[in-house]
Structure 1
Amino acid sequence: MSKKRYFIQLAYDGSLYHGWQTQPNAVTVQELLDKAMSVFFRQPIETLGCGRTDAGVHATDFYAHFDVEGVEEAKVLSAVTGINAMLPYQIAAKRIIPVHDDAHARFDATARAYKYYLHFEKDPFKLNRSWLVKDKLDVEAMNNAAAMLLNYTDFSCFSKSNTQTFTNNCKITKAVFEQQEDGLVFTIQADRFLRNMVRAIMGTLVQIGKKEIDLTDFKAIIESKNRSKAGQSVPACGLYLVKIEYPYIR
């Protein structure tokens, strides 16, 4: 029986982990997933994720691909319960999907979406789930600035320095704040994101909300292509990867 490729769909609370990607001397989501799957399938399994979430960042919709050899497809597709039994409660496998042999969880994604949550009053049930902001924010001004993002493609000013990406161009298709009863949520969707991009955008938009900068300043920051001109990255706790789209997965 030949080797076959699959996608696994996951959700995880990133509070306890040093991000998605396996690394030395730190516990990560990928490390624990690969160990659980290797035990279940009784062979070494190495996953490759749709992206790299940083330490403390959460995901409600995350995909990784993996290859397994000599296992009937029916057993692979029904493996979710067994894999979940070996994963910590903060990491959940949702489904396994058969894909073509060249399918790639990172490079084949056509759209990604993140949400960032803020709240304004101390709430013990939002610890490590949302960012507590004590200042009053001008949400209308923040939305006006967020809308400007759709007019640009080069987001070097919001990218972590010294990354190995060949381009800092992204096509943002949605960027909007919405009021909720217990806070504020920012939704942003694009074809791709740069390292630390969403948290840097949020930090700069919060400066708009605090009236520390205005729309003219925001435009100048984007056009500067200089990370040092933009705001500080906001805490990871409020950030969630919420959607990954592929042309062959429904």
Structure 2
Amino acid sequence: MNRYFIEVGYKGAAFSGFQVQENAHTVQAEVDRALSTLFRAKVESTGSSRTDAGVNARQNFLHFDTDLPLHPQFLYKINAILPADVVLNQIYSVPAEAHSRFDAVGRSYEYTLYTHKDPFMQDRGYFFPYNLNMDALQEAAEIIKSYEDFTTFSKRNTQVHTYICKIEESLWRREGERIVYNVTANRFLRGMVRGLVGTMLRVGRGKLTMAQFRTAIESKDCTNADFAVPGHGLFLMKVHYPEGLLTPYPF
């Protein structure tokens, strides 16, 4: 049995999330359907990262096993089967024990705000026409890096055993009429990036002091975080793996 990692990107607007769910339209279900159609046999993949309804991904991964040979035009044929809002960018040969979720060593997300009405940004950013103190946002983003316990920024009904995360990058930047938050960590909790963004926006608007922001983090109480920012402003940008794990399949 051969194991393969596949790299996908998708626009999340039409989906109820990434992971297969009963009676729901999901990205993983579409990928499994396309693989099963091409191989003419049932294929069930395993995803690397769950994303919520509306959330987009520049890069996400799944893995699957098969003894069947890969068609020389595998990428072309799979993309012809997949809907227009999902793309399979690459397939990789990996060791039989490799796991798309558990072998990931980090993930990078980006959250985009746009400050002036723009129909071309709809479903790809959060329209936020309010004044923001960029210095305060940047200070809050830097403060986040000094913490490891992110219980405050985890939604309830999660199945994790620890709320410890190591934040490697946390920063805001302005790009014309776009304001973008970038964050990279070894792992993320359910709703964590949206909780961070929503709570920092309260700091940027002067509704929360820096001391209150620290108190919210240290409270380990999710009712002190703001998760209200919409999913469509969020992009999973990159899933990080150990160097040398991924070998593009030699068609």
Q: TM-score, normalised by structure 2?
A: 0.95
Match of 2:27 among 23, 26, 29: 29
Contact residue 196 and residue 233 of structure 1 kept, 8 A = no
Contact residue 158 and residue 190 of structure 2 kept, 8 A = yes
> Is 1:183 aligned to 2:178, yes or no?
yes
Matched ranges for 1:1-250 at <5 A: 3-71=1-69, 75=70, 78-247=73-242, 248-249=245-246
Using the TM superposition, give the Cα deviation of residue 186 of structure 1 relative to its aligned residue in structure 2, in angstroms.
0.4
Counterpart amino acid of 1:249? L
Contact residue 118 and residue 185 of structure 1 kept, 8 A = yes
SS at 1:33's partner residue? helix
Contact residue 110 and residue 236 of structure 2 kept, 8 A = yes
> 1:231 and 1:46 mapped to 2: Cα distance?
35
**Identical pairs, percent:** 39
> 2:5 and 2:230 mapped to 1: Cα distance?
30
Q: Name stretches of at least 5 consecutive residues in structure 2 with no aligned partner.
A: none
> 1:77 and 1:44 mapped to 2: Cα distance?
20
> 2:137 and 2:177 mapped to 1: Cα distance?
18
Per-residue CA distance 1:171-197 (angstroms, 9 max, x = gap): 001110011012111000000000000
Using the TM superposition, give the Cα deviation of residue 50 of structure 1 relative to its aligned residue in structure 2, in angstroms.
0.8
Aligned-residue CA RMSD in angstroms?
1.1
Contact residue 39 and residue 68 of structure 2 kept, 8 A = no
SS at 2:66's partner residue? strand
Per-residue CA distance 1:205-246 (angstroms, 9 max, x = gap): 000011001110111111100000112331001100001111
> 2:138 and 2:195 mapped to 1: Cα distance?
16
Contact residue 93 and residue 246 of structure 2 kept, 8 A = no
Q: How many residues align?
A: 245
Contact residue 202 and residue 233 of structure 1 kept, 8 A = no
SS at 1:151's partner residue? coil
Counterpart amino acid of 1:15? A
